[in-house]
Structure 1
Amino acid sequence: MSRLVKRRILKRRTAGSSGFVVGVFAACVLSTCGALAQPGGPAVVIAARLVERTVAAKQSFVGSIEPTKRATIGSAVSGRVTEFPVEAGDRVEKGEKLAQLLTATISLELAAAEAELEYRRQMLAELENGSRPEEVEQARARMAAANSRFEFATARRDRVQRVFLENRAVTDDEVGEAVSLAAEAEEAYAEAKAAHSLLVAGPREEVIAQSRAQVKIQEAVVERLRDQLAKYTIITRFAGYVVTEHTEIGAWVSSGDPVAEVVAVDRVEAVAQVSMQSVNYLRPGERVEINIPALEGRSFEGVVVTTVPQGDLRSRTFPVKVLLENEINDAGPLLKPGMIAHAVLPTGAPRTVLLAPKDAVVLDQSRRSMFVVDKASGEGQTGAVSLVPVTLGVASGPWIEVLGGVSAGQLVVVQGNERLRPGQEVKVSRVVDDPLAAAAKPSVSPVSSR
């Protein structure tokens, strides 16, 4: 055989071999390599049951995070700032000092008023305690002495008058002097007697009442000065964060001037603008989902507080306030006023629907379908899958409403449905009720075990 003939024969054999390999590869592609995927048994999948739940249509509304309290704290009095211990961004507790004004003059006035109050209180105490026993005894002794002088003057007057009448041994002047001294002694005795009675009776109730009134007047003066002095120390009325500084040490502030702005963010409100068609489906106390794009889409659960009954005349939307618990760490509050918030709120009446995990939905261009496991009702069981077209409805977290040829309790494939074919046999390795729990566990490959 010539060399030319041998070359032609070898070339034909080589070409035939290449065609055979290409044909095998094409067959493998057309059959989705089914023979390689499950040469030894059914595909292993994770399934979930379809459930019926009462849900409402929901929509995401754009809003913003706002503090529950915001106050621009000002000065109630005029004065010079001597202390300003806070800065923007600092956390302050309720009653903490924001600024201190100069208090030298008001402190002196308060000291004088307190001394005057103490003086009046002691005077009142003296009146309320009444006369001391020693004072009463002293008055009694004076009364007795006055009585003795009165008796002596009376006796002398009588003698002088008798002598004058009997023998004219005394002059008219001596008689007059004796009568006058007796009358003076009588009046002195009456005065001493009255003084003794006053001390025994004690102060009059009217005098005590007047003294009490003077004490109350002075107490009011002291309280006014103390209140005024307290106003020289400017404090915050609630815990929060300083967001704006309006003064500095050495500055003069007048009554009413702002000192600092404080916001309370231990709890915050997500305020969303809701359309008038949807606002009537919201109820106070309802728990809703709030998504924060700035926190990589992190979700929070909040409570609807109120719907403001005054809408925007241009957009016809109403503010809805949702209360959220904030997270406070060393870096400050996690939710900060001004952040964009997406509030997922109901937009329709609640109704009972059939829900499936979103992972069970297979997307094929414009069609939506799911692989339903037939003749298998639990873990470890084997059955064939059928591809059932469905229509999607309301989403509820990781679940979504499905309409079509499916019913509650059926098993649908949530992991491993990427390579399945209608009629293919599968083995259910695990049945999950919560798709989030399934996502947290290691995924099971649908490749068949050998």
Structure 2
Amino acid sequence: MGDRKYFGTDGIRGRANTLPMTAEVALRVGLAAGRLFMSKDDRRHLVVIGKDTRLSGYMIEPALVAGFASVGMDVRTFGPIPTPGVAMMTRSMRADLGVMISASHNDYADNGIKLFGPDGYKLSDETELTIEAMMDQPLDQGLAPSARLGRVKRIDEAPARYIEIAKAAFPKSLSLQGLRIAVDCANGAAYRVAPTTLFELGAEVCAVGVSPNGTNINADCGSTHPHTLAAAVKEYRADIGIALDGDADRLIVCDEKGQIVDGDQIMAMIGLDWARRGRLSGGGVVATVMSNLGLERLLKAEGLTLERTSVGDRYVMERMRGGGFNLGGEQSGHLILHDYATTGDGLMAALQVLAVMVESGRPMSELARQFEPVPQLLKNVRYTAGKPLEAATVQAAIADGEARLNGTGRLLVRPSGTEKLIRVMAEGDDESLVKAVVADVAAAVQAAG
């Protein structure tokens, strides 16, 4: 796939004001992506831009706008809006391109740029590499004549449109009346839209993480710090807790007792509900290699498959589109409901969980334990040089581990995409065996690296 200079596994991401997350790089993205997505015809071309609540968004957004406008592309900015909202609005407004400025669940000092095509899907690796190649061209290349510069407008109603689309995904026959919901918006992109959506559907809403100041996004709140949500559920005696991350494309749920419910259990709950209604397409669910073996066994018992992909929601989405699946996601709470969205959407997923809860009349604590998770252990082993996975000793240790787990579990050994780390994960019915296998493989990697 060639060496990437700017783009990583999910757009461009890094510490704000240091490469690659500088105003100049953002300007170059606007210039390059603008030129690539402006076809040769004479019509006006449009890009829509959303962002989360990071301080550095005020630096990145104007630089992108300048790049797009200077090649002749019209720009519509939305202000703070969830990532899935940008994907939706790209299609809804017939834009040529959508941009989300966010570093998702990272802390405020980081930022990122995600690009969506006119169909609302994240760009392919090939398209990103084409943009990369164009970004290093001279800054004055392909500029529009003065009379053809792009026009720029702020669209204030974009969040309201997203709220209406989200509400339409909740069954018309149901209401959240009588439910008390704690919601943690991570001081991020959904700080207004999530509480408003839940309130308008009838719930009593107790919101935390809804006071962004530019530097408190994901700070001890949101889906990566679920203890804050658990505390809010107990404090407000809520029936359920919902935590989103900084750009609101992932979801973690908390039951009324303060117990955390991860993405695997949520996928099981929605998947089995949809299967019962004849709504699940593709004959199963798509998840990554990290999803628990317990989920796979539960689905198999119901005659459904679990298709596994590499880690990353873009790979889940690719498999869903290729196999006609409408439900997929990651253990971390990145859930994709293809009937409603072209990317992960925490609020949409939460509404499906709430629909199951309301219809069943059962408390979340009963619904949350769809399957008993198989003991799972992940160890990250740092190395300094070389390719430890190619060492004969490591390959022998992996083969031995797989043989010991045969039929009762699985072993997964993979390099990190961003750091010099080897991730060793095993799961199985025998917890002590899982620990022993992980320890042995990790020791072999350590010795080789």
Answer 1 or 2: higher relative contact order, Cα 8 Å, separation at least 6.
1
TM over 0.5: no
- Structure (1 or 2) with the larger CA radius of gyration: 1
Scaled by the length of structure 1, the TM-score of the pair is 0.17
TM-score of the pair, normalised by structure 2: 0.17
> Quick check: which one's strand share is greater?
1
